[in-house]
Amino acid sequence: NAGVTQTPKFRVLKTGQSMTLLCAQDMNHEYMYWYRQDPGMGLRLIHYSVGEGTTAKGEVPDGYNVSRLKKQNFLLGLESAAPSQTSVYFCASSYLTVTAYRYFGPGTRLTVT
Amino acid sequence: DAKTTQPNSMESNEEEPVHLPCNHSTISGTDYIHWYRQLPSQGPEYVIHGLTSNVNNRMASLAIAEDRKSSTLILHRATLRDAAVYYCILSPTGNQFYFGTGTSLTVIP
């Protein structure tokens, strides 16, 4: 049982390039989330999904797109990367209950130059 | 979204108890209180959560004030592995889950 995994672990992009971050979970969780964490800050919610084929905006969605084509995968896309998107990105998943706690992945460190 | 206030940093000696406070004066009746911690260079991990009553698990205890406007996470015997940033989060539903800046705990050997 691998839990929540993220690919890649590190990436450096030039301004304007695009990329996709992959999150996978093997716990059959309904909910999945993408967060970003800037230095010295807490996590901020980018997008989330309440089930296969659904997505919704979080606190800071601009500049990102997401897709949940399979229940176990949640993709985060940057169409045209900007230096302001330099951050550590965390994926999480949870069961479908009010008190469900989130399982987090190890993070992807993205630098945009 | 309901706000929480935590001290920026705290220190504790190894093997002593640690009390991490959180103020949430605008909490509503349906808000659960969650605690997560984030070890260096890792994703956050769940610690404990509660609604009205005090809670215990193998990692920690959660003491909730009678008026629910504050809570305290208690680590009974701090170890070096407990050095982390601790987040107190209020959540009325599974989606509304906002992290603040948390309390950075330093454990002194």
- Per-residue pLDDT, averaged over A35-45, amounts to 91
Report the gap between the CA of B33 and the closest CA in chain A (Å).
9
**B44·A97 Cβ contact <8 A:** no
- Higher per-residue confidence, A96 vs B76: B76
Site of tokens 């504050």: B70
Name the residue among A68, A47, A50 with its Cα closest to residue A58: A47
pLDDT for A91:
97
CA B40 to chain centre: 17
Picking from B5, B48, B97, B104 by the largest number of A CB atoms within 10 A of its own CB, the best residue to mutate is B97
Query: For residue A39, how many C-alpha atoms fall within 13 Å in the half-sphere facing its CB?
Result: 4
Residue pLDDT tens, chain B, 109 long = 568 999 999 999 999 999 999 999 988 888 889 999 999 999 999 999 999 999 999 989 999 999 999 999 999 999 999 999 999 998 876 566 778 889 999 999 9
Tell me, yes or no, if B37 comes closer than 8 A to chain A by beta carbon.
no
**Band (A12; pLDDT cuts 50, 70, 90):** very high
